[in-house]
Amino acid sequence: MSQPTSREKKLIQAILDIVKKRPGLDAEFLDTDTAPPFSGTLRLFGDWGSVTRPIRLAWRITPQQGQLLAFQLDTLKEHQPLLLADYVPESLATLLQQHQIDFLDTIGNGLICAPPLFYEVSGRRKKTPKLPPNRSQQNTGAKVIYQMLRDPFLCQQPYRIIAERAQVALGAVGPVLNELKAKQLLVTTVDRQVIISDLTALRQLWETAYISRLRPKLEVDRCTLSPPWKLDSLPLLIREQRLEDQILIGGELAASFYCENVIPQRATLHLPAQSALKQMLQLRLTPCEDGPITVVRQFADNLSFEQRSPEGLQLADPRLVRCELLYSEQTTMAKTAADLESLYLLNSERHGGLPATPHA
């Protein structure tokens, strides 16, 4: 059975304390055996009756993470999820309301529409320090989880090997794996083998950590190409500079290779951390606040897809491409992100394998 971590217990208790102050409303946390990505259930009750909902937890929600959470919870509507967060700003509350997603935060903001219960409080601002996120939601957690998504059997290896693969300190591995075990994302079989119980739920956990924590730290600059070069010139420039084996194509440009009927307006270039600035010059990229090209540093050595584009360029892992689409301000890319997940990730996750092959 999934057990909440100490941080999760603090978040849940803070929300219970707030809810219980409302006249005619009481609440209790039920440590039920809910499947990931849920962390138990919350029962709201009073003289009017009771409502029980599976809960999803979130901390320090950035605008990009808010969009991702709304997108993920929208796919779980059949379960009637309830989002519990340390703080839900008004902009995110509006987004959740548009998606008809119920939520509560630790300072009393919330919206629950579950007749006969209707709860709505808004406009309260965060004044107290935010609760720290789980280890799995920090930078090192994102790196460790990513490597387990690439190799589901990595969780059976010694901590030293996991740390080397993820390029993190040895001491960071244990706390991350322990949290995943508490969430029942890592389980022990009868023959004492540790396995991933739900690859899709693990990926969704990683998406949240990557978009809200790791991805902002990797960004080098927003750029544009020097005239007369344009976005569709990038493949040619990369080949001319013989950078095919160093640069990964991501974002909308990569999505146009993975999915049909995608006309890219932007691109993400994943460059090696040590040579990023030099390669930006080689590709004639100039800084531009709202440029169509985003340069980010690679955080691992295995971020590429197993097949290349028709031009021989390395494509970023579909998981990274999907995150870039959701990280973008272009909300029109949400459908492409969903298509990418459907075409390359969900089926392979059900069978515990690698992402599917791009369409010809």
Helix or strand run (H / E) with residue 316: strand 314-316
In angstroms, the CA 222 to CA 239 distance is 21
The kind and range of the H/E element at 113 are strand 110-114
**Does the structure show a pLDDT above 80 at 357?**
no
Reported as a single tens digit per residue, the pLDDT across 263-303 is 999 999 999 988 888 999 899 898 888 899 999 999 999 99
Band (201; pLDDT cuts 50, 70, 90): very high
Q: What would the pLDDT profile of 142-200 be if each residue is shown by its tens digit? A: 999 999 999 999 999 999 999 999 999 999 999 999 999 988 899 999 888 999 999 99
Residues 329-354 as b or e (16 or more Cβ within 10 Å = b): eeeebbebbbbbbebbbeeebeeeee
Give the Cβ contact number of residue 83 at 10 Å: 24
The rounded mean pLDDT for the chain is 88
Among the listed residues 295, 173, 190, the one whose alpha carbon sits nearest the alpha carbon of residue 246: 295
Residues comprising the chain, all counted: 360
